[in-house]
A and B are shown apart, each in its own frame.
Chain A
Amino acid sequence: MAPMRRDGSGIIRETFCFRQIPMHFPLLRPLACTLAMISAVPALSDELHADPFAQDLPVVLTGSRLAQSPLDAPAPVTIIDREMISASGFTEIHDLMRLVPGFLVADWPNGSPTVANHGLGDAFDRRIKVLVDGRAVNDPLWGNTLWQDLPVRVDDIDRIEVVRGPHGAAYGANAFQGVINIITRHPATESGTTVISRLGRDGFHDHGVRINGGAGSAIDWRLTASRRGARNFESITNDEGDVFSQESIRRTVVNLQASTQLTARDELRLQLGIVDGVDDRGYPMTSDEAAEWPIRDEDVRTHYLHGAWTRSFAADSELTVQFYHQAHRRRVAWVIEDGGRSIPTDLDTDTARNEFEVQYSGRMAPRWHFLVGGGVRQDSVRSRRYFDRGRALRATYWQGFGSLTWQASDALSVNLGGTFEDHAYSGKLFSPRMAINWALSPLSALRMSAGKSYRAPSLMESHARETIRYEDTIVRRLYNSLQKVDPEEVVHLELGYVARIPQYGLSLDARVFQDRYDGYLDDEVCRYRPPPRSNCSDLGFATPPGFSTDPLSTSTYYFLNLGRATVRGAEFTLDWKRPGWGRAILTQSFTRVHAGSQLEEENVDRSAPRSATSLLLIKDLPHRWRASLGYYHTQPVHWLNDGGEMGNQDRVDLKIARAFGPRGSDNEVALTAQSLGGRYPDFDAEKFRHEPRIFLSVRATW
């Protein structure tokens, strides 16, 4: 039975739920209909207040909902807005980081894509904290972000706020090289049903549906579902005849967001979602690596539940209480054939995170604004392979944070902030920061900030016992936390200048910076058996009990605080916009990494390109056509660990779109080409070539 809705006149009428949901997603129908019934709950305040001067309206655009102006921010922030997201043609979230000065993006077939800021990047981007609507999504195992498993799609995003440097004072430990804060669209800002379909060469597809309900009623909600698949890497063979790995992925994502204004002051928001998919990756049989890493299916599933209650006292004063639970599961098993032995192995992993956080902001005097909060987080990881145990490994973290902003004069503001964290492994860490903003004019400001941030070791770095067993013996021990390691530290200092020149439609954000890292944490190799060099026993690491006399390999990787590095650089973003013509966003970064003597051999000093440029050019054309071109250039860079040397890279993307339907809607048909130059080297030029992509897309709302 179709649910019924009571409108303001008391007339009961039928809602859309069945007839508007496309046939491709039949399972969504009962859910959408249930939501339609729930949202038909009468509004709390159906009549305007009797007192004409006392209309009750919720405080909607609060300080936490508004993007902080770069003129006022205590840290360098880049905002990727919806126009940029749409014009870029990117369909994967990590690719959007190419639009941020200093950020590097890579993908490789053996794992998740990776993002780095000003060097030190490798296969596990654990030095950048990623949040989705305030939910930390970094994986508890490695601390990296599983970009393709995020339960959010580019179509869900309202904007991304990227802090382009360490900011542990506001975001806690592990906001070490930057913070990527993904903010999704509020369900109240969409209406109707939207279908999105992208179809390209080599099996690329990305289809989705978005069903919005409750516009103007007590509950705003949105139900989205999408299914995508792509072949990212074909196996290549180098001049020496080495054959490298390949990868293709498939994902299904379902999300529900609901929000209700309980009173004029109180908003309740609930989000839940699930991602299900398969990675098909590995080395072809012709590769020497195929025995240990054959082509295999890795089943992945992520789910989350996130609730938040916000009480707004004023535009700059609110209390937020939030809780979320998220979990990720990977299932992959295969058999290593080795000299007549069939050795079963797997990479089965279950991770989970629960976090509770309270935050309060307010103004204690006209020129003094503060924010305080605290929370507790519990991470757990269960993996027999990585930890050589069946039970889950659990870690609990407590943190308290606060910041105080003093508007000393109309021109000068001083911000002091800090986070104190009691980390399960690293103990007590305090990340302080001070920023001074000096307004040269109402539309230009200088910023000076300095502080210290930490990156606590991930559970992998602190507890790994990666083990492959055959019968009762250990035939391989790979990652192995043989000794206590310290958190990485960075002392950061920057001087920034931000200006807006509205008469020319121009914005400028520039800065120079220095980040001094200490305790750089990396893996080293030693061997349990001869050859004599790098012998584990020389380092005091005993051969594990039960180690096979005929192991797959005698080498093991242990973690070590290797040393210091200093990164200095300059970067700017120039954003020019002219209504009717279009927009151009140019970013440029210059980076120098000075590795300490212990790190020179690790290629750390080549881990950032000396120069990197991005240009996103958006041109409005007649008859609602629009063309956008993305150009991304990086000078040579060396991705660390599993990565390798990359030469000069130039990538050009092009999108031609035509809008249709009502103005203001996102309806469009488009042709997008990613990497017009064809396959491009990625992560390690010797080994990996990312597939280019060309696809047609349609987006329609009714």
Chain B
Amino acid sequence: MVGLAPRLRHLVCALALTVAASPLAALDIAIVASQSKGSSRVVADAVLQASSKHMLVHGGNADGALETEHIRRAGLVIALGEAAALAVAADDDAPPMLVALVSRADFERLRGHEPTRPMTGLFIDHPVERHLRLIRAVMPEAECTGLVLGPQSRSFESEFGPAADAAGLAIEHSFAASAGDVVPALERHLARCAAALTLPDSVVSHPHVARAALLTSYRMQRPLFGYSRAWVEAGALAALFSTPATATRDVLDWIDAFEPTEQLPEPAYAYHFELAVNTRVARALGLQVPDEDTLRAAVTAGRQP
């Protein structure tokens, strides 16, 4: 398809995907990792070893050799990580793409760069509602949670209303344009709310800012909830997050559910998650945290399978 305009090429790709994948036909899906080592490779290998109704093929690594022919022959490519997505997107003849192991913010930036390419996402992030349900389960008496947003996490703002209604926990949020704005904003929120939540963001989640935020939350004797195991190890009270294992399950579930149609499914949040609780922080704050099964049940309550 060399020589065709990009928009036309992508339309042809989408049609090919529809035609080649009749309901009874297996689709070739190329799996591309960002690195030859690390979590994206771990997920890629686990996916490739799993049984699927589709034919899963090795698509290479973004930091090494890409299996360009495999990718071009496939009806769909799954790019694991931002680097893999960028490498695949550089090939105009690549098929439609599922980008996994990326944050929602990273995916939206990618899509901004490639507005015409058929692409969907499976984020490592979890919806705000899920985080709120976790806070509610740990601190049933909490009426609101504070949240300081940065330039990237601001995109979550549209979810707050429905998420707060669904979880029964109000969100009091503000925007920090720079690192120096985070602690004063956090202090204001923690003066009113029993807890605060952090979301992925290059400003708010910067290690130096995270340190100040954790120290501030402890000084005010109000816990902070994170979005990764690293946050919990650093001093957040609890977090739900994706791991390579849960991300693998998410990708395989997505593949199993995928029936080629005229359009790729809408981007989606991660479904599976792990929980972590910092019992030392809970003890120091005088909080009694329910066991993991209780928390998990509370977080997944009302969720569609």
Give chain A's interface residues, CB within 8 Å of chain B.
7-8, 43-48, 50-61, 63, 65-69, 71-72, 81-82, 158, 185-186, 188-192, 215-218, 220, 261, 264, 314-316, 442-443, 500, 502, 507, 662-665
Contacts and interface: CB of A to CB of B under 8 A. Distances in A.
Interface in B133-180: 178-180
A656 B81 CA distance: 57
Given A43-B207, A216-B212, A67 B284 contact: yes
A191 B212 CA distance: 10
- Please provide the 4 A-B residue pairs with the shortest distance between their CB atoms, ordered closest to farther: A216-B179, A61-B235, A664-B187, A664-B191
Given A61-B278, A66-B284, A261-B208, A663 B215 contact: no
B288 A443 contact: yes
Nearest to A62: B235
A415 to B, nearest CB: 15
Nearest to A56: B207
Contact of B216 (A43, A189, A662): A189
A453 B231 CA distance: 40
- Chain B: interface secondary structure? helix
Interface size band for B:
35 or more
Contacts, number: 164
A189 B215 contact: yes
Given A66-B284, A218-B208, A61 B192 contact: no
A663 B233 CA distance: 29
B219 A158 contact: yes
B212 A47 contact: no
A104 B124 CA distance: 57
Given A216-B179, A315-B280, A188 B212 contact: yes
A78 to B, nearest CB: 15
Interface string B189-204: 1111000000010110
B205 A48 contact: yes
B25 interface: no
Nearest to A54: B39
A55 B233 contact: no
A96 B124 CA distance: 49
A158 B220 CA distance: 10
A48 B278 contact: no
A665 B188 CA distance: 7
Nearest to A661: B188
Contacts of A316: 280
A349 B184 CA distance: 45
A52 B235 contact: no
A443 B278 CA distance: 17
A47 B203 CA distance: 9
A56 B200 CA distance: 13
A188 B207 CA distance: 12
A215 B182 contact: yes
A60 B286 CA distance: 18
B280 A53 contact: no
B292 to A, nearest CB: 15
A72 B283 contact: yes
Contacts of B200: 48
Contacts of A186: 215, 219
A43 B203 contact: no
B11 interface: no
Interface of B: 34-35, 38-40, 81, 83, 101-103, 124, 178-180, 182-184, 186-192, 200, 202-203, 205-212, 214-216, 218-221, 228, 230-231, 233-235, 242-244, 278, 280-281, 283-284, 286, 288
B180 A216 contact: yes
Nearest to A503: B141
B33 to A, nearest CB: 11
Given A8-B203, A189-B216, A664-B191, A52 B124 contact: yes
Nearest to B278: A315
Given A50-B83, A663-B191, A57 B231 contact: yes
Given A53-B242, A261-B207, A663-B192, A60 B215 contact: yes
A620 to B, nearest CB: 12
A293 to B, nearest CB: 45
Nearest to A192: B184
Contacts of A314: 233
Given A188-B215, A215-B180, A663-B188, 7 more contacts: A7-B178, A52-B81, A55-B230, A69-B283, A191-B184, A264-B207, A662-B188
Given A57-B207, A216-B206, A664 B188 contact: yes
Contacts of A442: 288
Given A56-B230, A58-B207, A58-B234, A507 B215 contact: no
A11 to B, nearest CB: 11
A315 B218 CA distance: 15
B252 to A, nearest CB: 17
A192 B211 CA distance: 17
B246 to A, nearest CB: 10
Contacts of A67: 284
Nearest to B210: A57
B146 to A, nearest CB: 9
Contacts of A57: 207, 210-211, 228, 230-231, 233-234
12 contacts: A48-B206, A51-B38, A52-B102, A55-B205, A55-B230, A58-B207, A59-B234, A66-B218, A66-B281, A215-B212, A216-B180, A502-B286
